[in-house]
Amino acid sequence: MIQTRDLRFAYAGHAPLCFRDVTVPQGGNLLLRGASGSGKSTWLALVAGLLTPAAGEVVVAGQSVGTLPSGQRDRWRANHVGFLPQKLHLSGALTVQDNLALAYFAAGAPVDREAIRHALASLDITALAGRRPHQLSGGQAQRVALARAVLMQPQVILADEPTASLDDLAGQSALALLAQTAHDAGATLVIATHDARVRQALPQAQELPFDPLRQGVDP
Ligand SMILES: Nc1ncnc2c1ncn2[C@@H]1O[C@H](COP(=O)(O)OP(=O)(O)OP(=O)(O)O)[C@@H](O)[C@H]1O
**pLDDT, tens digit (0-9, with 9 covering 90-100), for 159-178:** 999 887 777 887 887 888 88
31 CA → ligand 1 middle, Å: 17
Choose among 141, 160, 148, 147: nearest CA to 50: 160
Query: Can you tell me which atom of ligand 1 is nearest the CA of 194?
Result: 25
Q: Which residues line ligand 1 (CB under 6 A)?
A: 11, 14, 34, 36-42, 192, 215
Cβ atoms 217, 211 nearer than 8 A: yes
Report the pLDDT value the prediction gives residue 44, as an integer from 0 to 100: 96
Query: Can you tell me which atom of ligand 1 is nearest the CA of 45?
Result: 18
CATH T-level fold of 2-214 = Rossmann fold (3.40.50)
Q: What is the C-alpha separation between 9 and 6, in angstroms, rounded?
A: 10
Q: Where are the domains of the chain?
A: 2-214
Report the pLDDT value the prediction gives residue 87, as an integer from 0 to 100: 87
**pLDDT, tens digit (0-9, with 9 covering 90-100), for 40-55:** 999 999 999 999 999 9
Report the pLDDT value the prediction gives residue 213, as an integer from 0 to 100: 52
Report the pLDDT value the prediction gives residue 129, as an integer from 0 to 100: 98
Residue 106 makes CB contacts below 8 A (sequence gap 6+) with 74, 75, 78
Query: Can you tell me which atom of ligand 1 is nearest the CA of 38?
Result: 21
Reported ipTM: the value is 0.97
